[in-house]
Amino acid sequence: MTTTPHVQPASDALRHAEVGGSRAPSNAPAARGSGTVIVGLQWGDEGKGKIVDLLADRHQAVVRYNGGANAGHSVVIKGERYALHLIPSGVLRPNIACIIGNGVVVDPDWLSRELDGLHARGVDTSGLLISDRAHVVMPWHKAEDELRERWLSEGALEPIGTTKRGIGPCYADKALRGTAIRMGDLLRPDVLSARLASICRLKTAMLGAITGPDQGMTSYDPAAINELCQSWGRRFGPYITDTAALLRARLSAGQSVLFEGANATLLDVDHGTYPYVTSSNCASHGAATGSGVPVTSIAGILGVMKGYSTRVGGGPMPTELIGNDADRAIGEGIRARGREYGTTTGRPRRVGWLDLAAVRYTASLNGVQGLCVMLLDVLAGVERLRVCTGYVLEGRHIDELPPDAYLLSRCTPVYTELAGFGDITQARSMSDLPSAARAYLDFIERTVGVPVAYVSVGPDREQTIAAISGGAGAGSSGIGGVAPKAAR
């Protein structure tokens, strides 16, 4: 049989090879030292979106490398708040390529709403690209997620506390392979249609077994699902491409890339407080595999943390403020001032004192070169601040968080008490901060062993202090893009 060769349109070929006015073959070696990773060091919701937005204009591309619509990044610009779930936070800067990488699982319906919301507010999304190898969150993934959580809560096991957005089941299908659907598959409706008949039959049987005959049967019609997939293909076809090749070409051309992590290290499926974790590699190690670039292209790693701790969902949290009425009152005050409600779900976040034993572990694991201390202003007015520097576990002192839920649940925090401080929202330099606030930051640096690079003193983009000369990120002087510390 004779096969007609496929001829790629010249415009498509140039889309991959020509970047920023220069042309580089996608198989050329990537330029070393061109990438900066932004990674969360706690249980998520640290303020990564603000840092990505702040640094985006120093890079030519921002790529989201893990997670799905279970993540929520908030950015405030001149008092206007933007909530982003799948689209990289760099979308709020002009002329920046925003890439949803292959390590992300994409909910097309959620992405449609997010795009429509940005368009309605006049945000230009023409720079958005979606990896053809990113996996698709299907209706059965959400149904399975909810059923599993219900099943766990009704049995002897504690539910994980997922967002019920289908993230875990979608990643499970990615590993199972035969039932997985990728964004590139949406561009091949004839091929996908043949597969959907078998997939729908299997998913109907699986979910029916979980629900049981008394709960009613969920049935997936292949024709209806096929039409849904075709509508997604029509909507997102212009965005779907081989983003890994595009990123390598940009790096080879000497451009810089900002890698945006979702969720956070203590939720990493391998290195977090398992099993109360998410389903992807949130740590900095996931940036290369979740984007399709060489690890040698990553030069800088910034770790984002709050001035206190929060967590959503199940699992142990040693410093949680729930011990007595006074603790609960402090926790409720922090929650109210910090708007500690999930960007994705609206759930109230659990609140606790800053846990530096946890941050020391995650900073070391990620190879962090600079800390971004966020929401420091939320602590204003708390008279005495307690900071966890280690734990007592079964009678012995340990300095780092054990990444195991059972062991962590048996840990008693060891605290150091520091003086509180007043309002800092008007500070625009380190010298503007009160001495107690600077002492708090110094204590973080000494305990973690990593310099503070940025300090957030309010929600707005402008309420961010560069704590080191030149800031941080690709292109700055210093090892890994973190410049030498400035005088305070």
Active site residue 107: no
| 129 bridge partner residues | 99
> What is the b/e burial string over 56-65, where b = at least 16 CB atoms within 10 angstroms of the residue's CB?
bebbbbbbbb
Whole-number Å distance between alpha carbons of 333 and 351: 10
Q: Which of 302, 407, 408, 404 is closest to 355 using CA atoms? A: 408
Q: Are 134 and 165 in contact (CB under 8 A)?
A: no
- The pairing of strands 80-84 and 73-77 is antiparallel
| 39 bridge partner residues | 303
Whole-number Å distance between alpha carbons of 28 and 241: 19
Distance spanning both ends of the chain, measured CA to CA? 74
What secondary structure letter does DSSP report for 185? G
Determine which one of 16, 45, 173, 355 is catalytic: 45
> What is the b/e burial string over 202-228, where b = at least 16 CB atoms within 10 angstroms of the residue's CB?
ebbebbeeebeeeeeebebebeebbeb
Residues across the chain = 488
| 280 bridge partner residues | none
- State the burial class of residue 146 (Cβ atoms within 10 Å of its Cβ: 0-12, 13-18, 19+): middle
Query: How far from 234 is each of 95, 187, 293, CA to CA, in Å?
Result: 25, 8, 28
Determine which one of 16, 53, 59, 73 is catalytic: 73
Distance of CA 24 to the CA centre of its chain: 30
Active site residue 73: yes
Q: Which residues are catalytic?
A: 45, 73
